Copies of this chain bind each other. A is one copy, B any other.
Amino acid sequence: MFSELVIPHRTIMTPGPVEANPVALKAMSSRILGQFDPAFLTIMDNVKEMIKLPFGTTNKEAFAIDGTSRSGLEASLIALIEPGDKVLIPAYGRFAYLLGEIAERAKAEIMYLEKDWTATFDQQVVIDAIDEFQPKIVAMIHGETANGQMQQIDKIGQHCRNNDVFFVVDMVATYGGVPLHVDEWCVDIAIGGTQKCLSVPAGMSLVTYNDRVEAVLNSRYQKELGLSKDDRNDNHISSNYLDLSQLQRYWSSERINHHTEATSMVYALHEGLRSIINEGLENVYARHALNDKAIIAGIQAMGLGFYGDLSTKMPTVTPVMIPDGVGDGEAVRELLLNQFGVEIASSFGDLKGKLWRIGNMGYSSRHENVLHVLTALEGALTYYGAPIKQGEAVKAALVIYENN
């Protein structure tokens, strides 16, 4: 009745999920260990330490949540928000509204600072809004995959710290692909993803936070009923599954039982992190930057345009304007997938049908993938008769590679 898994070969050049690192995939086929097996606890401890490195932090706390990236966003926001708390959300793209969706459900009073999606905020604009609104929390996106923009946050973070405001930053799309400096930027909680630049399959979220946040968590902690009838706390966090105060104690040497850790995902995380640490994070970032230059050069040489300000573009996503003559671009995407085995992404909301998004993340960020997506795109656009320059894109990319 049900047939075997059929998994076609794909070159995935989207902003995630991207091709997984083969060492991470291989690790997933390893045997299971019990969640309190000393051998597994050692693996968890190593993972904790490795998670910190791409975040650029010496925080005591860093661990994985068994849920996709947005589970980390929700866990972080509900850890801090109490009903009626003021949350400022500067929005230069779609994912800011996901933060809003989560904060709204936590009954926060939300102020959006909105702008067009073609560029990021001047940090002073956000700082002024903080002074005006006086929020308890500022929540924002570091790299916005919907439009490919990346926000500078160092001054915003410093201003938050100076004013005792919590600064929560979604680094899902930049973790492992772009240098991050959580401590230096005064980020109180940062959230990373696995299925993007880290190239570990989706299913986990990474989080790190400092002692300012830990103090809040300690004040809201309650030990789970069923383990203890004491330790009740009227101010507990609204979720059990996403309760950072409990998760922290599961990942710490206290080892207080919470969920059953997702063994195979932790194996993959261990190997994915170890792989980029061994490559050298600076080398990893340089590889992403170089491939980004090649993609930009190739797209430009083809005569296509970009969405938004290139000077603030994330190196891990390139938003390409869909040219005339190919409608909403979906036929091109289908041809790429079905004939070339290449996947690129569309976008969300108002941007859907206006731009494609080409990812450049993690294990997918390789010369051959960049060249393959450029040739495939040129072939598909030529097939559909779009007005592009032929024979230039690959040459432009190769010039970048051969001169670096």
Identify the A interface with B (CB < 8 A).
1-10, 12, 14, 16-20, 25-35, 37-39, 42-43, 46, 49-50, 66-71, 74, 94-98, 100-102, 104-105, 195, 201-203, 224-228, 236-242, 257-265, 267-268, 270-271, 273-274, 277, 337, 343, 348-349
Which of A5, A19, A270, A337 has the most chain B CB atoms inside 10 A of its CB? A5
Known: A7-B33, A17-B260, A20-B31. 18 other contacts (CB 8 A): A2-B273, A5-B271, A6-B39, A7-B31, A10-B34, A25-B30, A38-B337, A67-B259, A68-B261, A69-B259, A97-B224, A98-B224, A100-B226, A201-B265, A202-B261, A239-B239, A257-B348, A262-B265
Determine how close the nearest CB of chain B comes to the CB of A98; give it in whole angstroms. Answer: 5
Determine how close the nearest CB of chain B comes to the CB of A107; give it in whole angstroms. Answer: 9
Determine how close the nearest CB of chain B comes to the CB of A58; give it in whole angstroms. Answer: 15
Copy tally for this chain in the complex stands at 2
Cα distance, A241 to B19, chains bound together (Å): 24
Cα distance, A31 to B75, chains bound together (Å): 29
Determine how close the nearest CB of chain B comes to the CB of A356; give it in whole angstroms. Answer: 14
Cα distance, A269 to B143, chains bound together (Å): 32
Main secondary structure of the interface of A (DSSP, over half): loop
Cβ 8 A contact of A343, one of B19, B37, B225: B37
User: In the complex, what residues of B have CB within 8 A of residue A259's CB?
Assistant: 67-71, 202
User: In the complex, what residues of B have CB within 8 A of residue A38's CB?
Assistant: 337
A226 touching B10 by the CB < 8 A rule?
no
B25 touching A10 by the CB < 8 A rule?
no
Cβ 8 A contact of A260, one of B12, B16, B260, B268: B16
Cα distance, A241 to B203, chains bound together (Å): 12
Cβ 8 A contact of A5, one of B8, B30, B201, B238: B30
User: In the complex, what residues of B have CB within 8 A of residue A14's CB?
Assistant: 34
Cα distance, A49 to B271, chains bound together (Å): 33
A sample of 10 inter-chain contacts (CB < 8 A) reads A2-B49, A4-B274, A5-B267, A8-B39, A34-B343, A70-B240, A94-B227, A101-B224, A202-B260, A202-B261
A105 touching B260 by the CB < 8 A rule?
no
A32 touching B201 by the CB < 8 A rule?
yes
